[in-house]
Amino acid sequence: MRSLRIAAIAIACAGVIAGTSLANASPRCEQVEATIYDKVVDVGCPAPTQVCVAGFVRGDHGFDGTTVFILGSRGEPPATAPDQRPVTGTLTYTFEDGAMLTALETSIGNVNTTTGSGHAGGTQQFTGGTGRYEGATGYAYLGQHWEVDHFVTEIKGEVCRSKR
């Protein structure tokens, strides 16, 4: 009987903790789930960049717009995963209302655009923006693969605005 009472108390406490966590979630933050479709291009890149990855994003809660990725660096494959290469850069989202959101993207993968094979995974760290995303923070996890002539990147995370 005592163990039944302890179990009931534990369940009640877990419910209170879960409810408190949800109640304390910031109203400035929203979940982001979207898909980016982009490809390597040599026109329309911000100067002085000559080659970038540009496309569009479609997602929940009006997370629809264009994207431009500027390569920051490409690292050497680690000895324990010789077919995986780390990549970093800056991704800029531009939305239909003119707002912009910037992210530092870091990934590692083996996407081969010649054979159409491979995949990549990583993160995006939101670092600010303009309009509704001025001062934004947050993150997204990403999974990427190659389809025929473009990258397909699924993102899922949270963006927090500095003001509502």
Write out pLDDT tens, residues 3-55. 444 444 444 444 444 443 444 457 789 999 999 999 999 988 888 888 899 99
Query: How high is the mean pLDDT of the chain?
Result: 86
The answer to whether 144 and 117 are in contact (CB under 8 A) is: no
* CA–CA distances in Å: residue 17 to residues 5, 7, 10, 13, 22: 18, 15, 11, 6, 9
Average pLDDT over residues 129-152: 96
Beta strand 85-95 with 137-147: parallel, antiparallel or unpaired? unpaired
pTM more than 0.75: yes
The answer, yes or no, to whether residue 152 has pLDDT greater than 80, is: yes
DSSP 161: -
Over range 113-121, report the average pLDDT: 90
Pick the residue with more confidence: 43 or 127?
A: 127
In this predicted structure, what is the pLDDT of residue 2? 47
Over its C-alpha atoms, the chain yields an Rg (Å, rounded) of 20
- Amino acid occupying residue 153: T
